[in-house]
Amino acid sequence: MEIPFVGSDAVAAGRLTPSQLRHRYRALYRNVYVPRTYEVSLRDRIVGASLACPGGVITGVAASAMHGAKWVGADVPIEIVAAVRRQAGMVVRDDTLNTDEITEIAHIRVATPARTAFDLARHLPRDQAVARLDALMNARPFSVEDVALLAKRHRGARWLRRLRVALPLVDGGAESPRETWLRLLFVDAGLPCPTTQYVVFDEEGGYVRRVDMVWEEFRVGAEYDGEQHLTSRGQYVLDVQVSRVLQRLGWHVIHVIKEDRSADIVAQARNALLARGWRPRD
C-alpha cells in the first residue's frame, strides 16, 4: 500500500478494517493517512495534499520544491489552489489558474515555474519572496517577463503590488537565502547592484574563484561564509590561498559571517567602492 493513502479507499478495497485504520495509522489530512510511527517528508505532505484535494494544484513554496528549489523544510505549509475547506498543515487558495499555468510532476498537478513565482511574490514579504524566487530561478529558470504577463492576465489578483516590488530583485545566481539577504542589504543601502557568481581568472586564464557577488568595474567582491568555512580545515586553507591570489590580482573581497552587523557590512563595501572610484548618484 502506497504512503500516504486515502483511508476510505483502503477500507472499501478491503486492505484495512476501520479498526486497523484507526489504531495503526494517523491522519495527515482529512481521510489521508500514514503509519503512526512513519516520519513524514515534504514529498509525503505534498502527495497527501493532492490526495485530500482531488483536482487541486500545488503552488507556492511547496511547488518551488517540486521544481527543484532548495532550502525548503519538510514542515512548510502546503499551498494548494482548490475548492475545499481549509485544514491544518495546508493553505487553501481560492485563485484562478489557466490551463497553461499548470504542469504535472510525478502525477501531481503543480503550478508552472512562472505561476509559482507569481504566487511566491504575492504571498510572501519582500525579502522572503526574493529568497524563494532566487532559489526557484536557480533550480528552474523562468522568465521574469512571463511572470509580469501573468500579472496583466490576473489584474484582479491580490497583492500585485508586492509582486511588482519583488520581481525586479530576482537573481538566480544566489545559492543560499543568506546570499540573497546580503545582495538585498547592499541594494537597500544604495550601493550598485552586484553581479552574482562571478568567475575570476588569473593572468594566464586559470580559474581562481567563483565569487558570490562582485562589482566588476571596481574589482570589489563580497562572499557570505557559511559554517563550512569555519569547520573544515581544508576549506579554510583553500580560502586563505585563494585570498592571496585575489589580492595579487587587485581584488578586494569582503568576507561576511552571520555575526557581522549589517551596518558594518555596508560600510566595508561602501568604503571599498569609494576607494576604487565609485561615486554615488546625487
Q: Model confidence over 226-238: pLDDT tens digits?
A: 765 556 777 777 8
Check whether 180 has a pLDDT greater than 60.
Answer: yes
Contact in structure between 210 and 176 (CB atoms under 8 Å): no
Instruction: For the beta carbon of residue 12, count every other beta carbon within 10 angstroms.
Output: 10
- For position 229, what pLDDT does the model report? 54
Q: Which helix H or strand E contains 165, and what residues bound it?
A: helix 160-166
Check whether 210 has a pLDDT greater than 70.
Answer: yes
pTM across the whole model: 0.92
- For position 119, what pLDDT does the model report? 98
Q: Where are the beta strands (DSSP E) in the chain?
A: 5-6, 25-29, 32-35, 57-59, 78-81, 90-93, 102-105, 108-111, 195-201, 207-215, 220-224, 252-256
Check whether 282 has a pLDDT greater than 70.
Answer: no
Every domain range in the chain assigned CATH 3.40.960.10: 177-275
CA distance 20 to 110: 33
CATH, range 177-275? 3.40.960.10
- For position 72, what pLDDT does the model report? 97
What is the mean pLDDT of the segment spanning 274-280? Answer: 95
- For position 57, what pLDDT does the model report? 98
- Residue range 239-274, pLDDT digits in tens: 888 999 999 999 999 999 999 999 999 999 999 999
Percent of the chain with pLDDT over 70: 98
Sequence letter at residue 23: H
* Averaged confidence pLDDT in the chain: 94
- Residue range 181-198, pLDDT digits in tens: 999 999 999 999 999 999
* Partners of 59 in beta bridges: 79
CA distance 49 to 45: 6
Which three cell numbers, joined as nine digits, stand for 53? 484535494
Contact in structure between 197 and 212 (CB atoms under 8 Å): yes
